[in-house]
Amino acid sequence: MSATIIQANDTPFNKVAIDPVTLDIIENALRNARIEMDTTLVRTAMSPGIREQGDAFPLIADPQGRMVVGQFGSYIGPFLKGYDGTVEDGDMIFLSDPYSVEGAISHSNDWLVLLPVFKDGRLVAYTSMFGHQSDIGGKVAGSMPIDAKTIFEEGVRIPPVKIWRKGVYNEDLIKLVMHQTRIPDWCTADLNALIASCRVAARRIVEMCERFGDDVFVSATEELLARNHRAMKSLIESSIGEAPVSFEDYICDDGRGYGPYKIKCTMWRENGKVVLDFAGTDPQSTGSINFLLNENMMRMFFGIYMIMVFDPHILFNDGYYDLIDIRIPAGSLLKPKFPAALSGRTHALGRLFDILGGLLGQKTPQFLNAAGFSSSPHLFYSGTGSDGEWFQLFQIGFGGIPGRPLGDGPDGHSLWPNFTNVPNEFLERYFPLRIERYETVPDSGGAGLHRGGNGIIMTYRFLEPGLIAIHDDRWFTYPWGVNGGEPGARARKVLRRATGVEEMVGNKQEDIPVEAGDELDFITWGGGGWGDPLARDPRLVGKEIIQGLVTPKGALAYGVVASAEGVVNQAGTEALRARLIGGRVGELPLFNYGPSIETLRERALIETGLPAPRQPVWSKHDTLRLAAE
């Protein structure tokens, strides 16, 4: 089964030589078209998740569906292979079902549109955009139920369908889809924004073809892909060894009381290719934390990490994909079997970046990053206000970026580099709440020569009764430090009732009732530290005390004695550092994970105020099958 491309003109493109100046112009024109897609989207969408935070991802691909510019890697190839239909001029494809595109979109909240770009009857490119919808129906507001056991509980699933067929809009289809959501005005506007962004990029592609010629444009895209292949091949040969290296990390829990869940990856170079083998990853969860990991997406994650560490000037595209072999056991947390729930996949998705860092940095510790804000914690707040109107908030929180070889991790930043925060003024204008605090949490970044970024505390005061839900991680396991750096602080959520009662709430919890006057401290985790904390300049620690990033007590982790005003006691600092260095045994660890899982289970109630997650339970069949594979 595969898609049938119908062209009025099926004359093959002629491959022509591209001079460097023309290639540079086309490359930058494509980059600008991608930026224009983003701009169009945020100016026409309605939901704060897309309009304010930018939770949407563009793509421009060549006629074979290979991404030339974009962010998540191309899902067009798997789509074309599995789509039993035609692709014609005037068509636009609409879908949201992860299982229909091999996980290229990873949960049903992500709506994707795909526009084939034709010129003079020939397919010259594809443009595509997907964005997170704030609600698609299902059992809870926001459509991301923590306790879901199957994807059928997570809202409407849209298989690949034509929203436009030969230039005719399928209005009935859209009426059917919008009938499922609690906020159809937002979803309608956001869908139209996705469509508009794809059409803008399509116009730019046609303009490039008219300016340079179809053959030149298509040849230029092929050369951009080939150039990326050459660059990545060189990086792989120089940076990846033939001896296998392994790394593992954890998702703290599944929101159903079980965890932690292990993700393990082993990497080596074989016959000029990188192999990333996820054997040893735990079986799929009965909850919604599964991540249907698309192999091309993982290739893009790997490539982005390599490029940003070793050569940031390389253009992200699909050109190097044949150099990376991805192996994921079926039935595991990263390749769950249908109809496993997927809506909480963000935690596993983000944890992959920590795992890549741990893999790539073991042989080159000078390039190693600590663990950082590898997730997108969500807060949901919904209900019917005193005015009789339905309100519904979906917001992504920020946290501490890890300490890095080049310096400290930023405080209060997003996992995704292009995300921005929702302004507090926007939240207070459109939702019945008030933001009482929005600031970094001192000492939450791990101590190191380069400090991990601090997490943030965002205190919400709810002004109307309603329900809230929290989706977060790293409350049980620590964001680890590297090269002698300390782990970052873990996440916490504290609910203070208007009655004066204070309670610790879980980091994955659904349908928590709140009343007017209740306050929630939404505290995110910090990044791990990089390098020996005792090598950090005491004057910098003193300055950070003044800035409120470090406390005098926290300064002791750097061996620095200082006052609340940031005045460093030089003699006291030298004496403390000498004592700390004298008490060390052996070399500083390459990775500092904090206490073991067993120790954390024993301390959970004391350290977090929450019971430890129970050991996940799998059938003997699941365990034996994964071991065999």
Average pLDDT over residues 407-424: 85
Which region among 288-302, 504-518, 588-602 has the lowest average model confidence (pLDDT)?
Answer: 288-302
Q: Is residue 376 located within the same domain as residue 227?
A: no
**Under 8 Å between Cβ of 112 and 121:** no
| The token pair that represents 271 in the structure block | 């016959």
Tell me if 607 is assigned to some domain: no
Q: How many CB atoms lie within 10 A of CB 262?
A: 16
CA distance 355 to 358: 5
Tell me if 128 is assigned to some domain: yes
Q: What is the pLDDT of residue 412?
A: 92
pLDDT surpassing 60 at residue 363: yes
Q: What is the pLDDT of residue 618?
A: 78
Q: What is the pLDDT of residue 231?
A: 86
pLDDT surpassing 70 at residue 619: no
The pLDDT tens digits of the residues spanning 504-549 come to 999 999 999 999 999 999 999 999 999 999 999 999 999 999 999 9
Considering only CA atoms, which of 71, 139, 61, 137 is closest in space to residue 105?
71
Residue 431 CB partners (closer than 8 Å, separation 6+) = 381, 391, 393
Q: What is the pLDDT of residue 178?
A: 97
Q: Quote the percentage of the chain above a pLDDT of 70.
A: 97
Amino acid identity of residue 536, one-letter, is R
Structural domain that includes position 483: 372-532
Q: What is the pLDDT of residue 620?
A: 62
Q: How confident is the model at residue 81 (pLDDT cuts 50, 70, 90)?
A: confident
CA distance 28 to 203: 16
Tell me if 359 is assigned to some domain: no
Counting runs of H as helices and runs of E as strands, what totals does the chain give? 14, 24
Query: What is the 3-class SS of 475-517, one letter each residue?
Result: CCCCCCEECCCCCCCCCEEEEECCCCCEEECCCEEEEEEECCC
pLDDT surpassing 70 at residue 3: yes
Q: Exposure of 583 by Cβ count < 10 A (0-12 exposed, 13-18 middle, 19+ buried)?
A: exposed
Tell me if 467 is assigned to some domain: yes
What b/e readout covers 78-107, taking b as 16+ CB neighbours within 10 angstroms? bbbeebebebbbebbbbbbbbbbbbbbbbb
Ramachandran sector of residue 481 (left: φ over 0; alpha: ψ -120 to 50; beta: rest): beta
Average pLDDT over residues 386-392: 95
Tell me if 350 is assigned to some domain: no
Look-up: residue for tokens 């970026």? 401
Tell me if 251 is assigned to some domain: no
Q: How confident is the model at residue 234 (pLDDT cuts 50, 70, 90)?
A: confident
**Under 8 Å between Cβ of 429 and 52:** no
Tell me if 252 is assigned to some domain: no
End-to-end CA distance of the chain: 27
pLDDT surpassing 80 at residue 45: yes
Q: What is the pLDDT of residue 629?
A: 53
How many domains in the chain?
Answer: 2
CA distance 312 to 405: 15
Q: What is the pLDDT of residue 311?
A: 67
Strand partners, 469: 380
pTM score, whole prediction = 0.93
Q: Quote the percentage of the chain above a pLDDT of 90.
A: 79
pLDDT surpassing 80 at residue 315: no
The pLDDT tens digits of the residues spanning 326-338 come to 999 999 999 999 9
Instruction: Compute the mean pLDDT over every residue in the chain, rounded to the nearest whole number.
Output: 93
pLDDT surpassing 70 at residue 300: yes
| The token pair that represents 393 in the structure block | 């908030």
* Helix H or strand E segment including 204: helix 184-212
Q: How confident is the model at residue 360 (pLDDT cuts 50, 70, 90)?
A: confident
Amino acid identity of residue 382, one-letter, is S
Q: What is the pLDDT of residue 105?
A: 83
Average pLDDT over residues 453-474: 97
Q: What is the pLDDT of residue 627?
A: 56
Average pLDDT over residues 126-138: 95
Strand partners, 462: 433
* Residue where one domain finishes, among candidates 490, 507, 532: 532
* Residue where one domain finishes, among candidates 232, 266, 289: 232
* Residue where one domain finishes, among candidates 511, 532, 553: 532
pLDDT surpassing 60 at residue 628: no
Tell me if 302 is assigned to some domain: no
Q: What is the pLDDT of residue 579?
A: 96
Average pLDDT over residues 568-596: 95
